[in-house]
Every structure is written in C-alpha cells, then in structure tokens.
Amino acid sequence: MTAAVLLGWRGHAWLALPARVYLAGVFLFACWHKILDPHSFAIDVATYRMLPLAAVNAVAIVLPWVELAAGIMLLVGLRARAGALLVAGMMVVFLVAIAWALAHGYDMSCGCFASQGAAADPISWKTVVRDAAWLALALYVLVFDERPLGLDRLLARRA
C-alpha cells in the first residue's frame, strides 16, 4: 500500500472522529479551571521553573484560551487540522515540561486538570506516556483526517 493510497483512504474521517471528540473533551475539560483561575494556573506554570518570570503570566493567560479554541475546533470539525496542530504543539510543550520536571526530581502536581494545590494528579512517567498517546492521536488527525466530518466538510460542499 503506497503512502498516497494510505493518506487518501476515505475511512480516516470516521477513525479520526472519535479521536477528535476525545481530544476535544480532554482539552475543553483541561482549560476550564485555568480560565476561571488564572492566578492558580500561573503558579502551576511557575512551578515547572522552565520559563522566565516575565513570561509566566502571559503563558498562563493565553494558553487556556488556545486550549479552548483547539477543543472547539476539533469538536465541531472547523479547521480540524489546525486544531489538531495546536493540540500536537501543546502536547509537545507539555511533554518537554513534564520530562524536565521529572528529570529534576520535582515532586509536583501536573497542573493539567487542577491546580498545584490538588495532589491528585502528580507527575510521573505515566503522565509522559499519557501525553504521548494524546500527541499520537493529534498527529493522526493532523496527517490523515483529510476530509474531517463536521463543519469543514459542510463548508467544502457549499464552496
């Protein structure tokens, strides 16, 4: 099977749909507490000790909204590939951050779905595997979901 045939297979849209909905759910859930409480999320970002202090708040302010936008794009199938690219980019950043924290031996919460005050989601190499799996899903949507089910397809029919 050539790469062109693999890429052109029409069934990808149906395989990608649950991946898109799942990733959308993850990111919409993840962004909620960060948007509601930017101060706590800024502490979460600072706890990784990767960014200069001057960049911490800007990242804490903007990142949750990008998560929200990416989640909506994947959910409704509007510019789904761009949404998948955003998710993949964020997953790469998160993977680097968590690996950095683990390499430095930081005993801390992930901050992914709740603030640092909640010790329910401590970082570990399992977190890295989980995020890598989400990255793989995002890359699948990005590369193979040529005709995403949703608004992209509806708009293309009208064009």
Partner 1 sequence: MPGSMEYPLPRAMWIAVRDAALVTAGCAVVAFGTNALRSMGIPVVAREPYQILVPCPDEVGESIEMAADDARLRSSGTLLIDARDTADYAAWHLERARSVPYDFLDPVNEKAVQEIASTGASVVAVYGDGAEPDSGRELAREIAGKGIRNVHHVVGGAPALQPKAPDAADGGTP
* Min separation Cβ 15 and partner 1, Å: 17
* Min separation Cβ 136 and partner 1, Å: 17
Binding mask 8-47 toward partner 1 (x if CB under 8 A, else -) reads -----------------------------xxx--xx--xx
CB 33 within 8 A of CB 115: yes
The CA-atom distances, in angstroms, between 5 and each of 2, 9, 15 are 5, 6, 16
Asked whether position 76 contacts partner 1 by CB under 8 A, the answer is no
Distance CA 71, CA 130 (A): 18
Distance CA 49, CA 46 (A): 5
Contacts of 54 (CB under 8 A, 6+ apart): none
Q: What size, in residues, is the chain?
A: 159
Q: Which of 19, 24, 56, 138 binds partner 1 (CB under 8 A)?
A: 56
Tokens standing for residue 2: 């050539």
Tokens standing for residue 96: 């680097």
Tell me the site size for partner 1, rule CB under 8 A: 52
Interface positions, 81-120, toward partner 1 (CB under 8 A): 81-86, 89, 104-108, 116-120
* Min separation Cβ 126 and partner 1, Å: 18
List phi, psi (to 5°) of 105.
75, 20
Binding residues for partner 1, rule: CB under 8 A, are: 7, 37-39, 42-43, 46-47, 49, 53-54, 56-58, 60-62, 64-66, 68-70, 73, 79, 81-86, 89, 104-108, 116-120, 142-143, 146-148, 152-153, 155-156, 159
